[in-house]
């Protein structure tokens, strides 16, 4: 079972996401345990206004203090825990990393806010992860993206296991092919005849060719790899 604890000043939206859809079903099946840890509980008097302070040396913005984060991490950390901090300089999240993390026992996420986090917190961190060259309001979105990508790869998390095997980046590492559902014609666009032919071999061939074409057009770097 994969356990994940997300340390955040905004536990309500995090808990709501972790308790919905596939993530909720994975927990109901006993495949995962996902928690939002309220950082405010580790601040003086449980007041989130004591979570941050002005930076030494001056400058714009405020910095999350080290002590509440250290206390929060140490309250949930186990020998097998991997502490992850979303950060612009971190390893880019991809399918390979998500699969690796899906096989771990315990992930702890430190979600930054405001200008940043006291640099001393990095001594707790085993892995820094980035969603790309963009800055978010906080680390929560990145943490939930990592958890979502990892949990859906746990065997049994998705009811139809074949569906996950056909995702982008699976198998040959290509983007996924186009998919259609009923009706067969909508606003002048008709579902390709091959998908309605019932010929499984032709459908498999068509889907692979479409995946190759889409990857060649949108992500040629994947073909180089």
Q: What is the pLDDT along the chain (225 residues), one digit of tens a residue?
A: 999 999 999 999 999 999 999 999 999 999 999 999 999 999 988 998 899 999 999 988 999 999 999 999 999 999 999 999 999 999 999 999 999 999 999 999 999 998 899 999 999 999 999 999 998 999 999 999 999 999 999 999 997 655 555 565 666 889 999 999 999 999 999 999 999 999 999 999 999 999 999 999 999 999 987
- Which CATH number do you get for residue 91? 3.40.1280.10
Residue 161 lies in a domain: no
**44 shares a domain with 107:** yes
Q: Can you read off the two tokens belonging to residue 164?
A: 């996950």
Find the domain containing 187 and state its range.
166-224
Do 145 and 172 lie in a common domain? Answer: no
Half-sphere exposure of 67 (CA within 13 A, CB side): 9
The answer to whether residues 63 and 118 belong to one domain is: yes
Domain stop point among 151, 175, 205: 151
Q: Are 2 and 32 in contact (CB under 8 A)?
A: yes
Query: Rounded to a whole number, what is the distance in angstroms from the first to the last CA of the chain?
Result: 32
Cα separation of 61 and 116, whole Å? Answer: 8
Cis? peptide before 183, omega within 30° of 0: yes
DSSP three-state, residue 156:
coil
Residues in the chain: 225
Q: How many domains does the chain have?
A: 2
pLDDT of 173: 85
- Asked, for residue 88, whether it belongs to a domain, the answer is yes
Within 10 Å of residue 191's Cβ, how many Cβ atoms? 16
User: Does residue 157 fall inside a structural domain?
Assistant: no
126 and 60 fall within a common domain = yes
State residue 139 phi and psi, 5-degree precision.
Answer: -85, 0
Distance (Å) of CA 128 to CA 72, 94, 201: 18, 13, 43
The SS3 call for residue 172 is coil
Q: Do both 120 and 177 map to the same domain? A: no
pLDDT value, residue 205: 96
**49 class by beta-carbon count within 10 Å (0-12 exposed, 13-18 middle, 19+ buried):** exposed
Q: Please check whether residue 160 lies inside any domain of the structure.
A: no
Nearest to 213 by CA among 183, 163, 178: 178
Structure tokens at 145: 């993206």
How many CB atoms within 10 Å of residue 198?
Answer: 8
- Backbone dihedral angles phi then psi of residue 116, each to the nearest 5 degrees: 165, -165
Q: Which of 128, 151, 174 is the last residue of a domain?
A: 151
Q: Which of 120, 151, 182 is the last residue of a domain?
A: 151
Any idea what the CATH number is for the domain that residue 207 is in? 1.10.1270.20
Residues 177 and 95 placed together within one structural domain of the fold: no
Q: Residue 17's pLDDT is what?
A: 98
pLDDT of residue 97: 97
| Same domain for 141 and 30 | yes
């Amino acid at each position: 079972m994969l356990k994940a604890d997300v340390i955040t000043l905004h536990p309500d939206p995090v808990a709501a996401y972790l308790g919905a859809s596939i993530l909720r079903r994975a927990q109901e099946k006993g495949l995962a345990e996902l928690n939002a840890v309220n950082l405010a509980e580790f601040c003086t008097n449980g007041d989130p206004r004591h979570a941050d302070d002005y930076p030494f040396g001056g400058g714009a913005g405020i910095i999350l203090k080290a002590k509440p984060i250290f206390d929060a991490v140490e309250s949930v950390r186990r020998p097998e825990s991997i502490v992850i901090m979303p950060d612009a300089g971190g390893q880019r999240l991809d399918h390979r990393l998500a699969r690796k993390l899906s096989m771990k026992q315990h992930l702890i996420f430190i979600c930054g806010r405001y200008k940043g986090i006291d640099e001393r917190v990095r001594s707790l961190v085993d892995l820094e992860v980035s969603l790309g060259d963009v800055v978010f309001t906080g680390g929560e979105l990145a943490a939930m993206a990592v958890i979502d990508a990892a949990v859906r790869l746990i065997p049994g998390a998705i009811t139809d296991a074949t569906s996950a095997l056909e995702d982008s980046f699976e198998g040959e590492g290509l983007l996924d092919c186009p998919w259609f559902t009923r009706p067969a014609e909508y606003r002048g666009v008709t579902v390709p005849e091959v998908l309605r032919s019932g010929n499984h071999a032709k459908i498999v061939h068509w889907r692979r060719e479409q995946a190759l074409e889409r990857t060649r057009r949108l992500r040629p770097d994947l073909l180089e790899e």
